[in-house]
Each structure stands twice: as C-alpha cells, then as structure tokens.
Amino acid sequence: MKFSFNNFGKSLLVLALIAALTLPQLSFAAQKTIPTKMPEPLKLNGKNIGSLELVNEGAKLLAAGQTQQAEAVLGEALLKNPDSPEAAYNFGLALAFNGKFYDAIQANFKALELKQQFAEAHLALGNLFLTMGDLEQALNAFDHATHLSPGPFITRAALFNKAVALGRLKRFAEAELAFSECLAATPDDQSIPFQLAEMNLRQGKPESALKWLDTMNEEYLVESNLMRAKAYIALKDSKKAKQALATSKKLLVNDVELKTDKDLNRIIGDIEKEIENIAKND
C-alpha cells in the first residue's frame, strides 16, 4: 500500500515509460538521515510486524493525519527492508508532512535508486523542490513524473504543479498552457481558474483575473473574494474592492481553520490599507 498525496501544504502525485532515466541532482547539501540503526521491533495487537505490514500501517497513519507516528513506523519499515522503494517513498511522505524537507528528498532519492520508474516518488520530489523554491529541479521532476504516469490522477497532479512552478518562474505562456490542459481534463476543478486568476493578476491583467474568478462556483470563496478585492484595487475601484473584502470576511467567520490563519489575516490587513489609500484619492 502506498499513501499518495497531492502537494503537502496541500498538497498533490505523478506519471508511460522512459528508456533511460537520468535522476536530477541535488542543488544543495542534504544530510544523510535514512535510518541506519534497528530499533526494538514494533508490535501491533501484540504481534511483531514485518516490513510490508509496517508500510501499510504507516500509510494508514498518514491518511489519518498521525504523521509523527507514521514517520516512526515507516522509518522502521525501511530499516527492516532497506531495498523496499515503497518503504522509502512512504517514509519520505511522512518526513515531508513533518516539515523535514531535506530528509524527505533523501528518502525519495533512495526510492528512485531502487525503482527508477517510480512516478509517485518523482512527483513527491517535484513537490518538495517546489516547496523549497528550487523551481528548475521541480520542473525536471514533474517532467519525469508525467512521462511515467500510470494514470490520469498522477498526470494531472504533475501537470498542475508544473504549471505552478512555471508561473513562479514568470514563464506565463507555458504555465497557462499547462493549466489549460489540466482544465480540459478536469473542468470542475476550481483550483485551476483560481491559479489562472492569480497568474493574470501578477501579470498586471486584473480584468482577465476577474473573468477567471467569475467562472468559479462555491469553492474557495474566501480566497477568491480576496483576490477579487486585489483585482479591483488594481483597477482603482475602492467600492467594489471593499464589497469583495466584506464578502470574504463574512465567510471567514464560519471557517474556524481559515479565520485563525495568520498569513490570511495579514493579507486582509494589507488589503484594507490598500483600499483606504485608493478611497483617499477617489
């Protein structure tokens, strides 16, 4: 059993065959932290459990959000069977969820040493490099993932995250093409028009951003209204910007997770100041 994820922050997995696969090289020094010492064997329901059972148990713990326990279980699975790419990959997922990104990269490279055509490990590497801002490495990993994809879910995840990386590199035409491919494959995915709106806003195209936001339904209403406020700010329309911000704040009251998000509240504060500055000049 493999636990798959799409982008830890939220993340997001990936991808036909490459005859000769060249693994990307780390562009930084990562400490080697793959476990090397065997701990006392774990027990489940009073019985010692082997590597495969540990991988399955660790994957279940990851799915349940118990990432610290999952890291311990999957670390032992890798110790019991250091030649298991699935153990290394899942261990990497647990490390990533626990914020140990350099260690997670090491684990995924180990998985790829054991199984070069491991699409999910390439996707996981791409997500890690994307998270750490190593965008060229991320693109390389996502390309490997799409070529090796065993199915549409991994292909879509790699293509979407590749588009995000291209956007951050300001390669907007390529990013829009990749997002458009994703949208054609999954037309109901509201994260795609949201990303396209954000990308257009960064290019100084607030009207285009608003058109993409108008295509969205009931998902991401807090975030989309904040982006709508930013678009109206760019258009110097303080009235509509204020309305969009008010809608977002009203929705935020009922969202326990988002209303305590420090970054989101900082963004709201910044938008309020920008609206005030525009209103002064109206």
Say which CATH number the domain at 253 has: 1.25.40
- The CA–CA distances, whole Å, from 103 to 108, 121, 130 equal 9, 14, 15
The predicted-structure confidence for 260-272, as pLDDT tens digits, reads as follows: 778 888 888 999 9
Domain's final residue, options 100, 123, 151: 151
Q: What is the DSSP letter of 129?
A: H
pLDDT tens by residue, 208-241 = 999 999 998 877 888 899 999 999 999 999 999 9
- Does a cis peptide bond (omega within 30 degrees of 0) precede residue 114? no
Contacting residues for 181 by C-beta, under 8 A, at least 6 apart? 159
Range with the lowest mean pLDDT among 24-28, 89-93, 246-250?
Answer: 24-28
Residue 173 lies in a domain: no
Q: Which of 3-17, 77-91, 155-169 ranks highest by mean pLDDT?
A: 155-169
Contacts of 265 (CB under 8 A, 6+ apart): 259
167-216 pLDDT, tens digit each: 999 999 999 999 999 998 888 888 899 999 999 999 999 999 999 999 98
Close Cβ partners of 280 (under 8 Å, ≥ 6 residues apart): none
> Where in the sequence is the domain holding 15, given as residue range(s)?
1-151
Q: pLDDT at position 21, please?
A: 24
pLDDT, greater one: 70 or 28: 70
Statement to judge: residues 141 and 206 lie in one domain: no
Q: Does the residue 175 lie in any domain?
A: no
- The arithmetic mean of pLDDT across residues 48-56, rounded, is 71
Could you say which of 104, 130, 151 is where a domain stops?
151
Whichever domain contains 60, its CATH number is 1.25.40.10
Q: Do both 126 and 215 map to the same domain?
A: no
Burial class, 244, CB count within 10 angstroms (exposed 0-12 / middle 13-18 / buried 19+): buried
Identify whether residues 25 and 121 lie together within a single domain.
yes
Contact 161, 12 (CB under 8 A): yes
Output the 3-class SS for 70-87: HHHHHHHHHHHCCCCHHH
Is 160 domain-assigned?
no
Q: Angle between the 85-97 and 51-63 helix axes, to the nearest 10 degrees?
A: 30
* pLDDT score recorded for residue 263: 81
Whole-number pLDDT of residue 31? 36
**199 SS3 class:** helix
In this prediction, residue 177 carries a pLDDT of 94
- Is a pLDDT exceeding 50 seen at residue 48? no
Q: If you average pLDDT over every residue of the chain, what do you get?
A: 81
- Total count of domains within the chain: 2
- Cβ pair 225, 254 in contact under 8 A: no
Q: What is the mean pLDDT of residues 50-58?
A: 80
Model confidence pLDDT, tens digit, residues 104-161: 999 999 999 999 999 999 999 999 999 999 999 999 999 999 999 988 889 999 999 9
pLDDT of residue 55: 87
Tell me, yes or no, whether 157 lies in a domain.
no
